[in-house]
């Protein structure tokens, strides 16, 4: 995992995966979303929306998955994943049972991250 964007409230990391997969973390180690102060919550909701739209436009997935479990790492964070009917796990979650061997051909993640960073900075 590598962080490609952060500010005083949140950071966004890339999860190494066959699919486009980002994670938004709170900078403060909140355990539950109900503990998060309003400004950070607003930023998380805005980023979830922006990232979903950007992933849909850039990667053209069949579905976007957004999840927050935080069972292994008890800190508020959200997963945003671009899913494809022919990815290795679809329709299961990415941490579920593998369904097939997949070889997806997708646009470059680096270009997406640059574009996304510009959009975040404009928001």
Q: Where do the domains of the chain lie, and which CATH numbers do they carry?
A: 2-118 (3.30.428.10)
Q: Cβ distance 102 to 49 under 8 Å? A: no
Amino acid 3: pLDDT: 87
**38-64 average pLDDT score:** 98
Amino acid 1: pLDDT: 58
Q: Which phi and psi (to 5°) does residue 64 adopt?
A: -105, 130
Q: Which residue in this structure is represented by tokens 């997969």?
A: 21
Find the range with the poorest average confidence among 37-41, 67-71, 74-78, 105-109.
Answer: 67-71
pLDDT band for 106, please (50, 70, 90 cuts): very high
Q: Cβ distance 81 to 20 under 8 Å? A: yes
């Amino acid at each position: 995992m590598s962080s490609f964007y952060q500010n005083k409230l949140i950071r966004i990391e890339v999860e190494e995966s066959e699919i486009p997969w980002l994670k938004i973390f709170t900078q403060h180690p909140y355990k539950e979303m109900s503990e998060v102060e309003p400004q950070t919550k607003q930023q998380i909701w805005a980023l979830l929306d922006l990232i979903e739209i950007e992933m849909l436009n850039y990667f053209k997935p069949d579905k976007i998955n957004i999840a927050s479990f935080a069972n292994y790492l008890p800190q508020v964070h959200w997963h945003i994943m671009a899913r494809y009917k022919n990815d290795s796990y679809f329709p299961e979650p990415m941490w579920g049972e593998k369904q097939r061997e997949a070889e997806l051909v997708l646009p470059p993640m680096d270009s997406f991250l640059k574009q996304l960073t510009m959009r975040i900075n404009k928001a």
